Chain A
Amino acid sequence: MATILAAIDEGGANTLLGDALASIPTLSKSGSGSLGPFTAGYSVQGTFAGGTVDLIAPSTVRIEHLRFNWQMTLSFGIDLDDFLPHFCLPQVCVDIPCVGHVCTPKICVSWPTIGVSVPFGDFVEATADFGIDVSLSGGQWKVQILVQNLSQLQFGPATAGILVLIGAAITPLLLAIPFIGPFLAVAVDLILAAIGVAGLTGFLGPILSPFLSGLKIPVYQQDKHFKFLPASGPVDPDVFIELDAVSAQIQHSDEDELVLSVDISP
Chain B
Amino acid sequence: MSLTGTSEVFASIDEDALNDILQAFFNARPHYRRYGSPAFVPVTTVSETAIPAIAFPGIPGGIDWRISFTTPVVDLFEQTQPLPPGMTLKPGQFSLHTDVELCVNCIARKDTRSDAAGARASRTKPRPDHVVCTKLGVFGIGHLDVWNSPNGDGAVRLRVDSVELVDIQPDSLETVLECVIKMILDGILSRIELPLKALRAGAFELIVTEGPEIEHNHIQAFGNV
Contacts and interface: CB of A to CB of B under 8 A. Distances in A.
Chain A, interface residues (CB within 8 Å), range: 35 or more
Interface string A222-260: 100010110000011111110100000001011101011
Given A7-B3, A8-B8, A264-B21, A239 B16 contact: no
Contact of B20 (A2, A8, A257, A259): A2
B23 interface: yes
A12 interface: yes
B46 interface: yes
Contacts of A150: none
Between B1, B14, B44, B194, the greatest number of chain A beta carbons within 10 A of the residue's beta carbon is seen for: B14
Nearest to B31: A235
B14 A228 contact: no
Contact of B24 (A239, A260, A262): A239
Given A2-B14, A7-B9, A243-B201, A237 B2 contact: no
Contacts of B195: 228-229
B211 to A, nearest CB: 13
Given A226-B202, A259-B3, A2 B197 contact: no
Interface string B160-195: 000000000000000000000000000000000011
Given A4-B12, A8-B204, A241 B24 contact: yes
A222 B17 contact: no
Interface SS, B side: mixed
Q: Please report whether the interface of chain A is mostly helix, strand, loop or mixed according to DSSP.
A: strand
Interface string B190-217: 0000110111111110000000000000
B8 A1 contact: no
Given A4-B199, A8-B225, A260 B29 contact: no
Question: Interface size class for chain B?
Answer: 35 or more
Contacts of A157: none
Nearest to B11: A6
A77 interface: no
Contacts of B122: none
Contacts of A259: 3
A115 interface: no
Contacts of B16: 1-3
Interface in B4-31: 4, 7-14, 16-17, 19-21, 23-25, 27-29, 31
A229 B199 CA distance: 11
Contacts of B1: 253-254
Contacts of B198: 228-229, 241
Interface string B32-59: 0000000000001110010000000000
A259 B201 CA distance: 13
A35 B20 CA distance: 63
A228 B24 CA distance: 10
A11 interface: yes
A3 B46 contact: no
Given A1-B16, A6-B200, A236-B29, 20 more contacts: A2-B16, A2-B20, A4-B11, A4-B12, A4-B17, A5-B13, A6-B204, A7-B9, A7-B11, A12-B224, A226-B202, A228-B21, A228-B195, A238-B28, A239-B29, A241-B198, A259-B3, A260-B201, A265-B20, A266-B21
| Minimum-distance CB pairs A-B, first 5 | A12-B8, A228-B198, A2-B17, A6-B203, A2-B16
